[in-house]
Amino acid sequence: MGNQVEKLTHLNYVEVPTSDPNGFEPEVDDGPRIGVSYIFSNDCGDDDDDEDDSSEPYPPENHLAKHEEKPFEPEDELECSVYFREECLFERNTGTATHSAESLLNKCRPGDVLEFVATGQYPHWAVYVGDFQVVHLHRAEIKNGFLTDVSQGKRGRIVNNLYRYRALQPQVIVRNAVDHVGSRDRELYWRNSECFAAWCRFGRREFKIGGEIRIGKQPYRLKMHFPDSKSHVLEFQSLEDVIMERRRNDQIGRDAVIQELANHLNAAQAFQEDPIANQIIGVLTA
């Protein structure tokens, strides 16, 4: 399958059983649920880039920058959690306040991880290193610049506590970021700005390209929370894959995710009710 990521669109999901990461089923029967795992090849440099570039099959981060900037809409943000087996590694709740770049400067301390957000765009992450500057991965290169410039007019927030890993000391976080300024293309070990910034803060190999061996199991779960106490779980082989899916959801927004999921579940149900499909399944499982 290699780097043919475009073949792994959500129009080609295959229904597989998933389970609640807490070990119990929801009270409401939401119908069949689906899981997905992305397999990527690390032999080609195309996947080393951030989603800012054209390496992903989705619109780049700066796609809307050429048009009118859309303000960030917190109500369209998808609430979600990430689990490794039974352990919660990441949790995003809706309603987190965002600030202008100028206001954010007054709140930052060296070692803080920042997230810049805008409707219809991938979130962009950066590490604050002091003196009004941040280090970030952008267009296949680790760069440093002034926070106000890197924000590109987007609102931002400090996201130190989204991941539940233990953070490194601030001076180590800053050194991790600064030491890689100028790295580019095949020198990079991170697929996107979030992976780089999170690695700087936590130092964990899971954020690096190929940092985990994919052996067929799917120990990671992305639990998406929807209105009316409904939820849906997707399974993945690596944290890197989870991050890419979660960032994609951030880019398209909660309403689009709900509509997309409904379409897939309806298609899966129609497939189950197809007598020819059932005959094929019977032959394959005989």
Q: Is the pTM of this model over 0.85?
A: no
Q: Count up the domains in the chain and report the number.
A: 1
CATH number, domain of 36, equals 3.90.1720.10
Tokens of 147: 């926070």
Residue-level pLDDT, tens digit, the chain, 286 residues: 343 333 333 333 333 333 333 333 333 334 333 344 433 333 333 333 444 443 443 344 444 344 455 778 888 899 999 999 999 999 999 888 999 999 999 999 999 999 999 999 999 999 999 999 999 999 999 999 999 999 999 999 999 999 999 999 999 999 999 999 999 999 999 999 999 999 999 999 999 999 998 877 899 999 999 988 899 999 999 999 999 999 999 999 999 999 999 898 777 666 556 665 555 445 434 4
pLDDT computed for residue 76 by the predictor: 87
Provide the domain limits for residue 156. Answer: 5-285
What length does the chain have? 286
One-letter amino acid at 255 equals D
Report pLDDT for 273: 61
Residue 155 falls in which region: left (phi positive, over 0), alpha (psi -120 to 50) or beta = beta
Give pLDDT, residue 48.
Answer: 34
Pairwise CA distance, residues 253 & 265, whole Å: 19
